[in-house]
Amino acid sequence: MVYVLEMSTDADIRQTQLDPAWGNAVTRYSWAQVSQGGLNIPNGSTIIVVAHGNDTEIGNAASGTVDINESVFLATVHGCMAGGAVSARVYLSTCGTGLATFTARVRIVATQNQVWRGVQLFGHHNAVAGLVPSTTALAWTQIF
């Protein structure tokens, strides 16, 4: 199953849609839900995060409302998982540049905390005018 986590309250991010290749088995959560945690996302799920972003944080386009660094990102996603569950893949799709750097920073924190051992991380950035690309699109960069 695919879960979309909105990590922004900006209207353009909340309206961002997925490429149809993702299929119909999609559950989407707003920032209000994501920030509270406890969503019980099951083990092995695929998570897509949509937000504005740069090389040091994701969230809203303007700073001061939703500003998520790599440690908060890891804790937030982990807090949405069911007890003991870990995602199989996390796709970060943002409007903004520097996402590969941010995703690499998430990987470093996850490795240090040993929370996401084996989780595949992918990053993509593009204007919010389009759809979140399918898993097979060349737009994704895997961060080891």
pLDDT in tens, 39-69: 999 999 999 999 998 889 999 999 999 999 9
Tell me, what's the pLDDT at 131? 87
pLDDT digits (tens, 9 = 90+) for 3-29: 999 999 999 999 999 999 999 878 999
Asked whether 79 and 35 are in contact (CB, 8 A), the reply is: no
Which residue would you say has higher pLDDT here, 137 or 129? 137
pTM of the model: 0.93
3-state secondary structure of 73: helix
User: How long is the chain?
Assistant: 144
**Distance separating alpha carbons of residues 66 and 27, to the nearest angstrom:** 21
Tell me, what's the pLDDT at 144? 67
Asked whether 74 and 37 are in contact (CB, 8 A), the reply is: no
- Candidates 45, 99, 90, 42; CA nearest to 68 is 99
